[in-house]
Amino acid sequence: MSSIDDVDAAHRGEGAIAVIRRGVAATPELRKGAFVTILLAMIGAAGRVVIPVLTQQVIDKGLTGPKVNTGLVLAASAAGAVVVVITGVIVRTTRVRLARTSEQALFGLRTKAFDHIHRLSLAHHTEERRGALVSRVTSDVETLSQFFSWGGVAWLVNGAVIVAVAITMAVYDWRLALIAIVAVLPLALILRLVQRRLLAAWDLVRGRVGDMLSSVGEAVTGAAVIRAYGVQDRTIVKVDEAIADHQRSFARAGSLSALLFPSGEVFAVLTISAVVVAGVWLGPGAGLTSGTMVAFLFLVNLFLEPVAEFTEILDQTQTAVAGWRRVLDVLDTPVDVAEPSPHESVELPDGPPELRLEQVSFEYLPGRPVLKAVDVVLPASRSVAIVGATGSGKSTLAKLLVRLADPTEGRILVHGVDLRSVPFADLRSKVVLVPQETFLFDTTIAENVRFANPSAQPADIRLAFYELSLDDWLDSLPAGLETRVGERGEHLSVGERQLVALARAYLANPTCLLLDEATSAVDPATETRLARALESLARGRTSITIAHRLSTAERSDLVLVMEAGVLVEVGSHDELLARGGTYAGLHSSWMDASSLSATAAPAGDT
């Protein structure tokens, strides 16, 4: 199984160009209108050479003659000003176009990465630290956004300026132009050499950001436990360590690029010196004028300044590329539980399905099977209970039945169709799991229930609660259906959250229903009510319940008994009881536990 971490590892040390190529391929939005934008940037860049050309004209034709030519100086200056204004407008247009394109592209990248994370199997969600996942669609993409709004613009505009200046220099004097261009080569070489080390340094920073956010996340989500155990100090120390690690890596990467930065400055003065010496040596006989020489003083700066600026934006580019790579790695993580290809996908027939497990095994970690060769048929329209001790593999079995993961070995057939060839939309509408841990979204009860069926009307939602005999509970809430449940549903008790989850499942109207201990935390009165409602809900459907309470098993058509990943017993409640095996043992201890009160109850109370 290949996880995000594996993809990260495979791409560690990948060069910037490779990442950018991968990035542009993944975000075609970047190419849209790129030609016009580049053209505009070129025209805008031409505006930069106005000053050297103007100065040269003024010196040669206006100032160094016997008398100052005021008319020419004024005309040239006015023309220069007009060109500056026009190119200013063009530069603005270029920048707005760039911003639109890049933000549009980032929007695409962000939503693609988000969708892809949801497509990954849940095995990843438990492996991967969530804080790190969130940071990929937020802070990593944000780093890119900041890059595009400044560094990215600089790359394009500077590139255009370099070309425009090089052409101007060559027109004035090719020999001096050659000196300036040759001087850039060692500079570019140094930049390339340092680039990889910088990239690694910024990569480390990004990783440390993820670790830091994870530890901060723990300090916040664990607020109740941290207080209940008075471990605030310990938590602060732990978070501070992660913060310090991040701080150190950041200072190191930043200092590395600080050393690199002024190399452009140093090269500029060296090149100017070389050009001056060469110009003086060549002299007026070579067709040079004092105006041209002064123009070169400016042109060399104009030429090297963008190159120097490249070093300034280089570290920003490194950060951005590192962030980009991390987002792309999300997209490149293979979907291990994949949608079947159209030509091999089979829609499930309507009606309650029969489920057939053929030698199904599963392991989260290689060599540590959680399910071992489970082989059983769950008949259509029947209620099945799966019982067993904690950790016996019941929940994993449920996950496989709704294809949150695929069996490591063997296969599962629904209506005789391999689960792997059923399109997700079809499967999810027909086989619905109510997970052990109820998660509600920070919105109203109505919205949380509607989650199962976005087209449901308030009346449908109310009906769901009514059918489950939960309407009186609903009415007891301050705002009824419109009651806000808080983050993760924390304004409701755990039991109440489960009521909402059951209404949600009801509204989904599946032909096969899986309940994973969903009723474990409701008080007995509510549970009894729910159990009965669920029974009527289960009628006409295939229902599979994983419950710790054996009362569910008692009234099921078929009971599966799991032990350490192995299916040890299958049969009806009565059969299994008569057999005197594992189930009989579980049942008698449960009877003892739940009947303690009955022995003490005064007769005639019922």
Partner 1 sequence: MVRLHPRPFAIAVFGASVYACATVASSFALGRVTDRVILPRFDQGHVDGGTVAAAIALVIGVGLVKAAGIITRRIAATITGARVGGTLRSMVVERYQLVPYEYHQRNPTGELLSHAGNDVDAATEVLAPLPFASGVMVILVVSFGWMLLTDPYFAAIAVVLFPTLVALNVVYQRRVERPAEEAQEQLGVVSAVAHESFDGALVVKALGAERLESERFRAASEKLLRAKVRVATTRATFDAVLDALPTIGIAVLLPVGAWRVESGAVTVGDVVAFVSLFTILVWPLRLIGYVLGELPRAVVGMDRIQEVLAEPIDPRHELTVSREAGSATSGRAALLDVQGLGFGYEPGRDVLDGVTFSVAPGRTVAVVGPTGSGKSTLLLLVAGLIGPQRGGVRVDGRDLSSFTVDDLRATVAMAFQEAFLFGDSLAENILLGDDDPELLATVADLAGVSGFARRLPQGFATLVGERGATLSGGQRQRVALARALARSPRLLLLDDATSAVDPTTEARILRSLRSHLTATTTLVVASRPSTIALADEVIFLDEGRVVDQGTHDELLARQPGYAHLVRAYELDRADRAGEVSVT
Residues 392-411 that bind partner 1 (CB under 8 A): 395, 402, 404
Q: Which of 555, 575, 579, 580 binds partner 1 (CB under 8 A)?
A: 555
The binder of partner 1 chosen from 424, 566, 568, 581 (CB under 8 A): 424
Close Cβ partners of 350 (under 8 Å, ≥ 6 residues apart): 511
CA 12 to chain centroid? 18
Cα–Cα distance measured from residue 493 to residue 522, given in angstroms and rounded to the nearest whole number: 9
Residues of span 345-364 touching partner 1 by CB under 8 A: none
Binding to partner 1, residues 321-340 (CB under 8 A): none
Residue whose pair of structure tokens reads 């053929």 in the numeric block: 358
Nearest to partner 1 of 358, 584 (CB atom): 584
Conformational region of residue 347, where left means phi above 0, alpha means psi within -120 to 50, and beta covers everything else: beta
Distance from chain centroid for Cα 381: 40
Structure-block tokens of residue 375: 């082989």
582 near partner 1, judged by CB under 8 A: no
Min dist CB 439 to partner 1, Å, is 4
Q: Which residues inside 55-84 make contact with partner 1, applying CB under 8 A?
A: 55, 58-59, 62-64, 67-68, 70, 73-74, 76-78, 80-81, 84
CA nearest neighbour of 88 among 48, 38, 36? 48
Shortest reach from residue 437's CB to partner 1, in Å: 6
**H-type helices in 120-173, by residue range?**
122-127, 130-137, 139-149, 151-172
By CB under 8 A, residue 43 contacts partner 1? no
- By CB under 8 A, tell whether 50 contacts partner 1: yes
Q: Give the contact letters, 97-116, x = binds to partner 1 (CB under 8 A), - = no.
A: --xx--xx-xx--xx--xx-
The footprint of partner 1 on residues 509-528 (CB under 8 A) is 517, 520-528
408, 416, 438: which is closest to 337 by C-alpha? 408
Kindly state whether residue 590 participates in binding partner 1, applying the rule CB under 8 A.
yes
Binding span for partner 1 by CB under 8 A among 34-42, 250-258, 348-356, 536-544: 250-258
Of 190-198, 268-276, 323-331, 344-352, the window that binds partner 1 (rule: CB under 8 A) is: 268-276
593 sits near partner 1 (criterion: CB under 8 A) = yes
Q: Does 586 bind partner 1 (CB under 8 A)?
A: yes
Q: How far is the CB of 353 from partner 1 (least distance, A)?
A: 16
> Residue count at the site for partner 1 (CB under 8 A)?
195
Q: Please state whether 489 falls in left (phi above 0), alpha (psi between -120 and 50) or beta.
A: left
Return the residues of window 224-243 that contact partner 1 according to CB under 8 A. Answer: 224-232, 234-236, 239-240, 243
DSSP per position, 240-306 = HHHHHHHHHHHHHHHHHHHHHTTHHHHHHHHHHHHHHHHHHHH-GGGT--HHHHHHHHHHHHHHHHH
We find the least distance from the C-beta atom of residue 150 to partner 1, in angstroms, to be: 7
Among 508, 512, 534, 559, binds partner 1 (CB under 8 A): 508
Distance between CA atoms of residues 240 and 247, nearest Å:
10
Q: Does 53 bind partner 1 (CB under 8 A)?
A: no
Note whether 431 and 355 are within 8 A (CB). no
Please report whether residue 134 would count as binding partner 1 according to CB under 8 A: yes
Q: How far apart are CA 522 and CA 494, in angstroms?
A: 8
Contacting residue, 391, 458, 540, 580, with partner 1 by CB under 8 A: 391
User: Residue 14 or residue 282: which is nearer to partner 1 going by CB?
Assistant: 282
Residues in the chain: 606
Q: Structure tokens of 57? A: 């004209």
Interface pattern 476-505 for partner 1 (x via CB under 8 A): x-x--------xx-xxxxxxx--x-x--x-
Which are the contacts of 469, defined by CB distance < 8 A and separation ≥ 6? Answer: 529, 530, 532, 533
367-395: string of b/e by CB count within 10 Å (b at 16+)? eebbbbebebebebbbbbbbbbeeebbbb
Which 186-225 positions form the footprint of partner 1 (CB under 8 A)?
212-214, 216-225
Residue 115 CB, nearest approach to partner 1 (Å): 5
381 binding partner 1? (CB under 8 A): no
Nearer to partner 1, 13 or 391 (CB): 391
CB of 511 to partner 1, least distance (A): 14
Our CB check for partner 1 shows the closer of 185 and 224 to be 224
Site string for partner 1, 143-172 (x = CB under 8 A): --x---xx----------------------
Does position 549 interact with partner 1 (CB under 8 A)? The reply is yes
Secondary structure letter of residue 121 according to DSSP: -
Q: How many CB atoms lie within 10 A of CB 599?
A: 6
